[in-house]
Amino acid sequence: MYQINYFKQRELLDAKLAEEVAGLLSQAIAEKGKASIAVSGGSTPKGFFKALSEKDIPWNKVTITLADERWVNIDSDASNTRLVHENLLQNKAQSAKFFHVKQGGLLCDETLAYLNLAANTSLLPLDVLILGMGEDGHTASLFPCSDQIKQALSVDNTNSLMKVVPKTAPHERITFTFASLSQSKATFLHLAGAAKKDVLTKALAGNDVFEMPIRAFLQHSAINTQVYFAE
């Protein structure tokens, strides 16, 4: 299920989303002494990252990771890890921990086994998940065009992280699976612009999750996806 929260300006959305997320992270820390959040890349979340980084919470008890990552070097313009370090791990958030989903040179079975063990031990289930959405309806790196999409969306997938090779986008990817992301305690979908509004409208009009994987989050009865949208 979902709820759409509309904002007239992106700055208003960024401020409200940062306030909500900071509150959830603080609550998790109060309850269990630590908190975890997975964010998404792209240009849309930059303002939100800045607003969140300035929140006064116990950042040294927060672990930040990415919902997915391109398997590229951290100095690449395509690196979401670089994006997070330059825009979120700043200001008061400098003391937060960062869980690297891109580690090593090759995205092989051995690397995946290590990352799955590390994520299951120290990170999951997530307290907060911030998703984005592509114009094809993909979210994280759950691409409808990939040969791995059925495995990636399977609720029976025991892997928390897996390799995905999209056919309509560059770079091989590592992504958290739907099975692991769906366990997040709070899920947000952060969107901006008329084009994304059109994609969202299409996603809400159908139910084929393999056509538009974001539907798996929007239409799941046990997931309360808070959509934050600004023009």
Please report the domains of the chain, with CATH numbers, ordered by start residue: 2-230 (3.40.50.1360)
The answer to whether 117 and 153 have CB atoms below 8 angstroms apart is no
List strands edge to edge, sheet with 173-176.
68-70, 173-176, 161-164
The answer to whether 83 and 41 have CB atoms below 8 angstroms apart is yes
Q: What is the DSSP string of 34-81?
A: -EEEEE--SSTTHHHHHHHHTS-S-GGGEEEEESEEESS-TTSTT-HH
Question: For position 104, what pLDDT does the model report?
Answer: 87
Mean pLDDT by runs of 10 across the 231 residues of the chain is 97 98 98 98 96 98 98 96 98 98 94 97 97 98 98 97 96 98 98 97 97 97 97 89
Contacting residues for 57 by C-beta, under 8 A, at least 6 apart:
22, 25, 26, 29, 92
Q: What is the DSSP string of 172-199?
A: -EEEE-HHHHTT-SSEEEEEESHHHHHH
In the structure encoding, which two tokens stand for residue 112, read together?
């995946």
C-alpha to C-alpha distance for 51 and 87, rounded to whole angstroms: 10
